[in-house]
Amino acid sequence: MTAIEVQSLTKRYGRFPALNNLTFSLGQGQVVGLMGENGCGKTTLLKVLAGVMLQYDGEVSILGHRPGPESKALVSFLPDQSFLADGDRIRRCADMYADFFGDFNREKFDDLLKFFRLEPAMKLSQLSKGMREKAQIALAMSRDARVFLLDEPISGVDPAARDVILRAVVRHLEPDSLVLISTHLISDVEPILDRVLMMRYGQVLLEGGVDDLREQHGKSMDQLFREVYRWSEN
Ligand SMILES: Nc1ncnc2c1ncn2[C@@H]1O[C@H](COP(=O)(O)OP(=O)(O)OP(=O)(O)O)[C@@H](O)[C@H]1O
């Protein structure tokens, strides 16, 4: 079944189209890398899909729902900026998540905390950047959601932490879930990707299955990304 269907999506900030007649669809049961240069529209797209940005032109459907309360119940969104209050402890963040989201799964959360070697009593203000990213990923991935939208979940953390975070992303994934993960760290993310969606100027530049693209071009996604963007400049 199609998880995300986007047709002729345009989102303007003033007169500037951050998303420009964007069309694509993504099926369930895969991990998709959303890639592209700074400012190509990745965060804007994720915000529209997450239902936090409701003013746009075009058609967007998440498992058959327009972005809104019904789609939000099925979508777990990890924004690119920290959404947790510094003064809180991890335990309190989990309680708030459980209050807010009916599909919050405490067992998954406890497992992910252990996996990350984090303690419920830890205060957010005392966590390093990498530990904080881990706490946020643990919260976002502990929902029994159908679609996960992760905006740069491993930016600014060391390579070992990136690896652990990515393993956590796929740890409890249901076979029919879709994960859309935006990143500039392509070679780090590549091992968990089934598909890539490369964007430029608010449009799709290249889309395809990772195995097919590798076979077709004989290149890693990181190499392909560099090449595709070089071609499109000429
Ligand atoms: N609130 C805003 N007001 C005006 N312009 C905006 C706003 N948010 C984003 N933009 C512009 O829209 C375009 C797309 O921004 P967006 O943040 O979606 O890109 P991105 O691909 O996520 O970039 P990055 O890789 O740097 O995170 C950029 O040109 C940006 O300057």
The residue whose C-alpha atom lies closest to atom 16 belonging to ligand 1 is 41
Supply the pTM of this predicted model. 0.96
For the segment 127-152, what is each residue's pLDDT rounded down to a tens digit?
A: 998 899 999 999 999 999 999 999 99
* Phi-psi category of residue 15: left, alpha or beta, with phi > 0 → left and psi -120 to 50 → alpha: alpha
Mean pLDDT computed over 192-216: 96
Mean pLDDT computed over 108-112: 96
Spell out where 14-145 has E strands.
Answer: 16-27, 30-36, 57-62, 75-78
Q: Is the CB of 18 under 6 A from ligand 1?
A: yes
Ligand 1 pocket test, pick from 11, 35, 40, 197 with the greatest ligand atom count within 8 Å of Cβ, gives: 40
Residue 181 predicted with pLDDT over 90: yes
Q: Is the CB of 46 under 6 A from ligand 1?
A: no
Domains of the chain: 2-233 (3.40.50.300)
Residue 211 predicted with pLDDT over 80: yes
Contacts of residue 69, defined as CB under 8 A and 6 or more positions apart, other chains included, come to: 51
Residue 234 predicted with pLDDT over 70: no
For the segment 113-129, what is each residue's pLDDT rounded down to a tens digit?
A: 999 999 999 999 999 98
For the segment 62-83, what is each residue's pLDDT rounded down to a tens digit?
A: 999 999 999 999 999 999 888 7
Work out the percent of the chain whose per-residue pLDDT is above 70. Answer: 100
Q: Is the CB of 134 under 6 A from ligand 1?
A: no
DSSP 94: H
Q: Is the CB of 55 under 6 A from ligand 1?
A: no
